[in-house]
Structures are given as structure tokens and as C-alpha cells.
Amino acid sequence: MSRPTGQSRPTAPPGRAAERSRPTAPPGRAAERSRPTAPLWRAAQVFRLATLAYAVGYQLTAVAEYTRPTLSWVLVASMAVWSGVAAVALSRDTGARRGWVIADLVVVLAVMGATRLVADPGWYSTHQTLPTTLWATNAVISAAILRGPVVGVVAGLLVAVTDAVVSGRFDLDLARDATAPVLVSVGLAVGMAANTARRAQAQLERAAHLAAATEERERLGREVHDGVLQVLAYVRRRGSEIGGPAAELATLAGEQEVALRELISEQAAPSLAGDTAEVDLRALLRVESSTAVSVSAPAEPVVMPRRRAEEVAAVVRTALSNVELHAGASAKAYVLLEDLGVEVIVSVRDDGVGIAPGRLEVAASEGRMGVSRSIRGRVAALGGTATLDTAEGEGVEWEIRVSKEGLA
């Protein structure tokens, strides 16, 4: 649509323009804390330091039985240094976490293998390894948080096999040695917890984006309705009343009004995942608002499967189209949406001329199926009911009842 000459294009208020142009700050620590697995990483590092304390205590009790006590203290000191470095590195949300987790696993396996350097076969075949099984669990936990339960179980098995190789014990008697089941269970449980946290975060983000998109589309829809749609509707009605050359302008305005309403209807129902997702029925109905149509809906979203919601909206559009065509030039229509939990009720009422007795049967015999197919047929396909209440000179009211869930 061309802009009349002599009019300047409106400019945005300076404050709003400056707000749009203001650069956004980097996410920083706030974004790091919002990561879904961040609490797990922090808790894992606290556990790492606690297990280090246990390993040092174990060293104090076992050092007298080692053949190389000095080397054992060097290894324990290396464990302490690595625990501090790994705790700092893994608690930070950086792209290097994968490398640190791999290094953590390598260090754990190496220190476990070094047990044979500090003790004789009689000792390490009947005791746990130098770094203790509890301290070795840190590598399993890190792998599980990073990649989920499968990688966590694999890491647990790897640590358990290393423990069996170092000690020379391949005993399946779980009553005597439950190292392998414990390590595998830790990898499985922590990995599942990490995946659950990621899924919950992803769903929360999708819900937030959907709510923001819905709010923005409704705002744009209101602005379009308050401006363009009302002007087009006014031009269509006045052109039809004036007739002559203005009738062609009325026809064009009517076509553009219908096209714009359909576009808004398509954009007003964002979904999470295509046609199988759920949408807010209120958004589909509110785009029908005009100077002649009033739409009332609950304050809370009326969520339905997308296909069912679109079919209900199509029924309402057909009813409103009948009001425009048959109720009279000055008729007003009122749409009321009610949410009863398991079902919705949509009432479409007008104050027009009503329907004379037998008129619907005559229309059906003439091949005009707006009521029988577009309204009653659609509602029947949804498993609902469509009740018509009308009398000549008293307007028309449709009451449409449809369950929220169904195959359609």
C-alpha cells in the first residue's frame, strides 16, 4: 500500500530506538549459573575434596605397610594437587571441560596402577588401591555429568576393571567385593540426573520462548486490529453502501482484510514442535475481533492440540461468515470461549435477523453446506456437539462443545 505524498514517515521515540540499539552484555557468571548441570558440577567438586580427605586419612593408616612409603606420599601429594586443579577447572563452564574429564580419568587410572609400585602383591591383592575407590569415583561422576548415563557406566566399568587388574582379583562374589556395581550405579544415577536437568532446562527455555513469542504476536495482532483491519473493514462497508466505483474499492478492501486475518491467525498460534504440538485457542479466536465482532476469552491460556484448535477456529470463522452474509448490515457478533477443564465451550451469538423455520433445510437442498458441513460436520468429526438456537428476528446463537483431547 503506497504512502500518501506529503506525509513524513513516523519515527520511533528516541528512548525506544536507543533501547533497541543498546548492546547486550555478555552472559558472564549469571549465564553460567543458569546452566542446567552447573549445580551438579559444583557438588561434584565438593565431593572430590571430601574424598581427598578420606584418601589422605587412608594413607596415614596404610603407609607403614608400603614397601616404598616415600613414593606413596609423592603420589598422594600429586592427588591433592590434581584434586585442587580439577575442582577449579571443572567448576567453570568452559569449552575445555571435555579435556579435563578425560585427563581426570587418565590420572585416576594412572594412580591406581601406581599402587603396585608402592606395595607388595600380598598387600595390594587384599586392599583397595592407593587412591582409594572413593576418590577414583570422581572420574566416573565427571564423565556421567558431561555425557550422560551411558558414558558414566562405561567410565565406571573402566575404573572397576583397572581396580581388578591392579589387585589381581576377578571375583564375582558381590558379598565380598561390590566395587564394580557401585561404580556402575554411580555412573548411571549421576548421568540420568544430568540428562534430566538438561531436558528440564530445555523445556523451560522452550516454554519461555513460546510465551514471549505468543505475547509479541498478540501485541502485534492488537496493533494491526486497532489500525489496519478496522480501516479495511470500514472501507469495505462504506464502499458497499456508496456503490458505484466505490464498490470495487470495497471488494479489494474486503479481500485484503480476509488475507490479513488469515496471516495473523497463522502467526498467532506458535507451537513447540509442529502440528503435533499444543496451542492457545484464545490466540486463534482473538484474530476474529473487529468492529462488528467481540471476542471474550479466559485470562489463562486454553491449551489444545493444534489440529483440534484449528478446527474449532474454522467452525467459528464459518459462523461469523454467516453472520456477515445473512444477519444484516448492522448485526453485531459475540464470541465467548469457556474452559471447563476437559472440554471447551465456544458460543457464537449475533443480534441479527435470525433464521426462518425451514431455511437451513432449503439451503442444504440447494447445495449450500455451510451449516451442515462446515459447522456441524466439523464439530461431529471432533466428537463434539453443535447446538443452534435461533428464531426469526431474534438473532442466532451457536453453542459448540468439544473435548480438549482427541485424535483430530
Q: Are strands 333-339 and 303-305 parallel, antiparallel or unpaired?
A: unpaired
What does the alpha-carbon distance between residue 20 and residue 40 come to, in Å, rounded to a whole number?
36
What pLDDT, on a 0 to 100 scale, did the predictor assign at position 11? 39
Any idea what DSSP says for residue 196?
Answer: H
What pLDDT, on a 0 to 100 scale, did the predictor assign at position 54? 93
Q: Which of 217, 208, 210 is nearest to 287 (CA)?
A: 217
Angle at 139 between CA 102 and CA 186, to 5 degrees: 135
- Tell me the per-residue pLDDT of 277-291, one tens digit each, with 9 for 90 and over: 788 899 889 888 877
Determine contact, residues 135/55, Cβ cutoff 8 Å.
Answer: yes
What pLDDT, on a 0 to 100 scale, did the predictor assign at position 212? 80
What pLDDT, on a 0 to 100 scale, did the predictor assign at position 158? 93
What pLDDT, on a 0 to 100 scale, did the predictor assign at position 16? 40
- Tell me the per-residue pLDDT of 137-152, one tens digit each, with 9 for 90 and over: 999 999 999 989 999 9
What pLDDT, on a 0 to 100 scale, did the predictor assign at position 275? 46
What does the alpha-carbon distance between residue 392 and residue 408 come to, in Å, rounded to a whole number?
35
Proportion of the chain above pLDDT 90, given as a percent: 33
Determine contact, residues 357/325, Cβ cutoff 8 Å.
Answer: no
* Average pLDDT, consecutive stretches of 10 residues, N- to C-terminus, the chain (408 residues): 38 40 42 69 92 93 92 94 92 83 93 91 86 92 92 92 85 65 90 90 83 73 66 79 80 73 57 61 86 87 90 89 81 92 92 78 58 76 89 87 76
Q: Which of 65, 184, 200, 86 is nearest to 130 (CA)?
A: 65
A 10 A CB-CB count for 289 gives 19
What pLDDT, on a 0 to 100 scale, did the predictor assign at position 75? 94
Q: Which of 284, 315, 300 is nearest to 402 (CA)?
A: 315
What pLDDT, on a 0 to 100 scale, did the predictor assign at position 27? 46
